A = this chain, B = another copy of it.
């Protein structure tokens, strides 16, 4: 993992600014002579810069090991792949758990509220630093897809291709509602924020899966042969969710979750630009927009709406609904369709 330290302050959407900030990142493959083969990968809410581990498929694999590596759809023999930890996160980039240079204490809630646009502008400073004028592609799913959309709008001439997976121009009503409850759970337990963080993660896990996939994996299966007529953990889905909650509090920070969740709630291209058409009107990237058939957190309808708007504006866009029963998180799972679409979109020379 590398660290980039900014040379100039970052002006934030809120009107505040960060005097200085660091961005943690990893790279895979080699930058070519004319610096034209760089792909930026943007991670989702709980992700980090460790997208891949080209040295080992099994030991400490990256979160997108399936997609990024030699001969993989995002082929590191061909591309110079960069994955940053987003601004505001707790995996090496500046965020609420970083030391405030003025007080030498953790920022925590004194950290300024940041937006997807702020994350993207911090990434752009890193891309400058790497002496890359134009990215071959920006790619991301979920919150990473939001960043990809923002890249295509904020820096239209700095990317050739944009791959947006399981994302939307704004969280839909139900998804926004679940988002606010996650934060509420953390804020309601200020003395023990990890209790709220675990609850937020459990809610998240249900929304990242489909009813069908929870049914197939867990259904109503019990851990014991029969009901215990008490209040200990009994259903396998209950045990799984608790395990996910406990695992998460050991690797994530509750305050950071508030910030990243808020950035997702705030992301709204329609509000920011007046309409989807206005948002996309200066885009020059070729788009690959993909949704997941069983994703109810970011329903296909929202992705189609973006694709239709881009077509209306005479932009180059490919839309594909990936048929998968596994819900939102399908973009992190093995999928021939997803792999094939990404590989051929990166290969295309239109």
Give residues in A with beta carbon < 8 Å to B: 13-16, 109, 112-113, 170-174, 176-178, 180-181, 183-185, 187-189, 195, 198-199, 202-203, 206, 210-212, 214-215, 218-220, 227, 229-231, 235, 237-238, 241-242, 245, 258, 262, 265-266, 268, 271, 296, 299
Contact = CB atoms under 8 A, between A and B. Distances in A.
A299 to B, nearest CB: 8
A286 to B, nearest CB: 29
Given A15-B229, A173-B218, 7 more contacts: A113-B229, A177-B238, A180-B237, A180-B241, A184-B238, A185-B185, A211-B299
Contacts of A231: 109, 113, 183, 187, 258, 262
- 8 smallest CB-CB distances across A and B, nearest first, come from A14-B229, A173-B215, A180-B238, A173-B214, A174-B211, A113-B229, A177-B206, A188-B195
A173 B219 contact: yes
Given A184-B242, A229-B113, A214 B262 contact: no
Nearest to A194: B188
Contact of A199 (B112, B199, B235): B199
Nearest to A15: B229
B227 A206 contact: no
In the complex this chain forms, how many copies of it are found?
Answer: 2
A81 to B, nearest CB: 33
Chain A facing B: main interface SS:
helix
A184 B199 contact: yes
22 contacts: A109-B231, A170-B220, A171-B220, A172-B215, A173-B211, A173-B237, A174-B215, A176-B220, A176-B235, A176-B237, A177-B206, A177-B218, A178-B206, A180-B241, A181-B199, A181-B203, A183-B231, A184-B242, A184-B245, A188-B195, A199-B199, A211-B299
Q: Which of A176, A183, A210, A219 has the most CB of B within 10 A?
A: A176
A99 to B, nearest CB: 21
A212 B144 CA distance: 26
B227 A266 contact: yes
B206 A181 contact: yes
Given A198-B188, A199-B188, A271-B220, A235 B180 contact: yes
